């Protein structure tokens, strides 16, 4: 088993283009780690300047969202071809904030995932339960359902390249990290689900991140879990602490 770790920052709605360039320049010496794929998912308007600032470094610039149509009358949306043209290789799909505030559903997530693969952009597919769902004891059922719909009509070769981010909603931006056991339990269940949908080789290859208040302090233990292949990081991705997360094994 030798999955390469992937640590992605999700800047959310932060950083003007000028600030984005300054942040990339500040973080670039801190996020060097040959063992890890490093991605900064940034607001659409920051993609081009961040890409320029990251040239020649190990930083990949990703997007936070993408629409599932090729082009046309969809005011305000970003197309996969636009991301291709800008050189974007990763896109976050179905973050819980998009589901909550922008009415994204498992079905639109699936359409976006298929479209991303069509354009050879790696989707970082988000799933996660609310606090109520966790308290009701339906976490695993809920996550399995999200995964099954997200991967409808996705073939095994594509699934092998996908990244899944397990982000318990109650742990996002709250400072409340899931315990290592909670995070590992759900990430393992996701891998089992992928094994059922595809086969053992696909389950073994797919990378599963944990997200939710990840910090330089919590990353080493989380990323040492057998089914956790890195993190999707919000708040800490805007600070030098992100360098510690990327260098969790040093």
The residue ranges that bind ligand 13P (CB under 6 A) are 10, 95, 167, 172-173, 211-214, 232-236
Dist. CA 137–CA 82, nearest whole Å: 41
Q: Is 26 a catalytic residue?
A: no
DSSP letter assigned to residue 45: G
Dist. CA 153–CA 96, nearest whole Å: 22
Residue 96 or residue 139: which is nearer to ligand 13P going by CB? 96
Q: Is 119 a catalytic residue?
A: no
Work out how close the CB of 79 gets to ligand 13P at its nearest, in angstroms, rounded to a whole number.
22
| Position with the least CB separation from ligand 13P | 234
From the candidates 64, 69, 95, 129, give the one annotated as an active-site residue: 95
The pairing of strands 163-166 and 36-42 is: unpaired
Residue 17 or residue 216: which is nearer to ligand 13P going by CB? 216
Work out how close the CB of 198 gets to ligand 13P at its nearest, in angstroms, rounded to a whole number.
25
The two tokens of residue 125 are: 């597919």
Work out how close the CB of 156 gets to ligand 13P at its nearest, in angstroms, rounded to a whole number.
26
Residue 95 or residue 115: which is nearer to ligand 13P going by CB? 95
Residue 70 or residue 100: which is nearer to ligand 13P going by CB? 100
Non-local (6+) Cβ contacts of 163 within 8 A are 6, 8, 90, 122, 123, 124, 125, 206, 207, 208, 209
Dist. CA 8–CA 219, nearest whole Å: 12
Q: Indicate which residues carry an active-site annotation.
A: 95, 167
């Amino acid at each position: 088993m030798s999955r390469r770790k992937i640590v992605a920052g999700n800047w959310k709605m932060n950083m003007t283009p000028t600030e984005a360039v300054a942040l990339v320049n500040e973080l670039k010496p801190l996020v060097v780690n040959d063992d890890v794929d490093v991605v900064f998912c940034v607001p659409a308007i920051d993609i081009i300047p961040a890409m320029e600032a990251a040239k020649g470094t190990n930083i990949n610039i990703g997007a936070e969202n993408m629409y599932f149509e090729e082009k046309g009358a969809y005011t305000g949306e970003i197309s996969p071809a636009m991301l291709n043209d800008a050189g974007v290789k990763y896109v976050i799909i179905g973050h819980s904030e998009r589901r909550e505030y922008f009415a994204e559903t498992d079905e639109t997530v699936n359409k976006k995932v298929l479209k991303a693969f069509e354009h050879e952009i790696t989707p970082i597919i988000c799933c996660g339960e609310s606090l109520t769902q966790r308290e009701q004891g339906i976490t695993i059922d809920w996550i399995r359902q999200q995964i099954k719909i997200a991967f409808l009509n996705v073939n095994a070769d594509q699934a092998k390249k996908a990244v899944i981010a397990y982000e318990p909603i109650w742990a996002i931006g709250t400072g409340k990290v899931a315990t290592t056991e909670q995070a590992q339990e759900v990430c393992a269940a996701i891998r089992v689900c992928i094994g059922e949908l595809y086969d053992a080789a696909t389950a073994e290859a797919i990378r599963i991140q944990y997200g939710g208040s990840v910090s330089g302090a919590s990353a080493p233990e989380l990323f040492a879990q057998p089914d956790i292949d890195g993190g999707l990081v919000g708040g800490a991705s805007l600070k030098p602490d992100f360098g510690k997360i990327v260098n969790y094994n040093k």
